[in-house]
Chains A and B, each alone.
Chain A
Amino acid sequence: MSRDWKIKTIYLAVVGALTALAAVQFYQHRHYQLPIIAGPGVTKVTNLSDYCESLRGTMADTKVFFLEGKEPGGKVLVMANTHATEIDAILAALIFIENAVVEKGTVIVIPQFNHSASRTTKPGDGYPLFFEIPTAWGSKKFRLGDRGASPLEQWPDPDVYVHYPDRQLLSFLDARNTNRTWPGRPDGPLMERVTYAAMQLLRTEQVDLAIDVHGAETMFPVTNCIVAPEKSMRLATMASLTVKAMEGFENHVEPSPQGFRGLSHREIGDFSETLPFLLEAPFPFLDQPTGPKTIDLLLTGKDSFLLSLARQKKLFVPYDETGWPVSRRVGQHCSVTLEIINQFSRKNVGRAIVISNVPRYAEIVENGVGHYYHDPRQAPKESIYQN
């Protein structure tokens, strides 16, 4: 063997080992199935592709959980993981799916709205692949996803994303962002088909309220808030004031901009009868000037750089040594969601939605998020859905 081939063999062995290591980790992440336990309120589970045939058989198809009450009433859709990095959304959605009992009306939950995004990770930022929520029976393991869909499902990105139908020019990355592709179309790029399917669900099921659950940086002004268009503003304001008065946490209201297209809180309202809302809880993990993106930062929200910035009044939310723990963030989402439903039901008695057994902010802060998840080993097999 010549000298250059000896070196090449060593290089091939080292890079081959690195490739194999990366391949195994990414493969395990992409194919890990999250067990979701359908609680006592779940009456049927369907697929999003039931509302858009061109989604069927793709990695973008996802489960839709229906919780139907005995009495007819209004309908609410709760969407989580529009951005699969913003973990509080799916954690809150699973609390609803595993615990909620609907007395009147219907609650529809899509826990992994951008399913493809939950099966990839953000390149270049050193994000963990998985995180675990401690429970009384062990821990529940989740995939940590990306903001946009995986390029394995939708590739290549355009130079500029031209929004449909307004033709507004958006960032190329937003072609894979399901909070820029509303209202979508059945024959568009895959992420437009996801939002089109959701629009069809809202129209055919005659859904009254759509709540899109997110998390936002503490340095971003649109954080710790309810984003609402004109038609949802009254309910959002009432919900915001009520949680502040009754539960003691801030959650102000931000108007949905009319000129910024593709967002759920804009297009759902403009293209259907549904009243849309987008919830943002402070999520320090997404801030840029933090230390390493560790699981600890993800779950506690504690970071010394952010603390320093808070002392210089550079953040848009209160921030101290306690950070923004996952229990507070998820607690806010549950309470605000319940309060929007409550305010709607008060104003629309004939379309009221009555839910019980979903914890509010104080209970979740006291008990922790994992307290509300059930052990898949103890659950009946027919109630477990892998997603």
Chain B
Amino acid sequence: MSLIMIFYHALSVFTAGLLLWNFIREKEDREKMLLYLLVLLPFILRILWIR
């Protein structure tokens, strides 16, 4: 795997972490809670090397 691919996958892990952290911190807005998780879905598939 090329260095740039490793870097982009590391970016995916970082972005997924940010989304999860925002989901945990959100207390009021239910819509935002759901949106954080839905946006997280493709990142999970990419990190797991599935899609």
Q: Is there an interface contact between A152 and B44, defined as CB atoms closer than 8 Å?
A: no
The CA-CA distance from A185 to B24 in the complex, in Å, is: 47
**Which secondary structure dominates where chain B touches chain A?**
helix
Interface presence of A26 (CB below 8 A): yes
The contact string, 1 if C-beta is below 8 Å from chain A, for chain B 19-51, is 000011011101001100110110011101111
- CB-CB < 8 A to B37: which residues of A? 11-12, 15
Q: Is there an interface contact between B27 and A152, defined as CB atoms closer than 8 Å?
A: no
Interface presence of B5 (CB below 8 A): yes
Q: Is there an interface contact between B30 and A26, defined as CB atoms closer than 8 Å?
A: no
Q: Is there an interface contact between A19 and B5, defined as CB atoms closer than 8 Å?
A: no
Chain A interface size range: 10 to 19
Interface presence of B4 (CB below 8 A): yes
Checking A11, A22, A156 against B45 with a beta-carbon cut-off of 8 angstroms, the contacting residue is A22
Q: Which of A5-33 contact B (CB under 8 A)?
A: 7-8, 11-12, 15, 18-19, 22-23, 26-27, 30
**Which secondary structure dominates where chain A touches chain B?**
helix
Q: Is there an interface contact between B41 and A152, defined as CB atoms closer than 8 Å?
A: no
Q: Is there an interface contact between A15 and B40, defined as CB atoms closer than 8 Å?
A: yes
- CB-CB < 8 A to A11: which residues of B? 33-34, 37
Q: Which of A137-163 contact B (CB under 8 A)?
A: 151-152, 154-156
- CB-CB < 8 A to B28: which residues of A? 4
- CB-CB < 8 A to A4: which residues of B? 26-28, 33
Checking B24, B27, B45 against A19 with a beta-carbon cut-off of 8 angstroms, the contacting residue is B45
The CA-CA distance from A192 to B20 in the complex, in Å, is: 37
Assuming the contacts A8-B23, A19-B45, A22-B41, asked whether A156 and B4 have C-beta atoms less than 8 A apart, the reply is yes
Q: Is there an interface contact between A26 and B50, defined as CB atoms closer than 8 Å?
A: yes
Complex A-B: 16 CB contacts under 8 Å: A7-B30, A8-B23, A8-B24, A8-B33, A11-B37, A15-B34, A19-B45, A22-B45, A23-B51, A26-B51, A30-B50, A120-B51, A152-B46, A152-B51, A154-B5, A156-B4
Complex A-B, nearest 7 residue pairs according to Cβ-Cβ distance, in ascending order: A15-B37, A26-B51, A26-B50, A4-B27, A27-B50, A156-B8, A19-B41
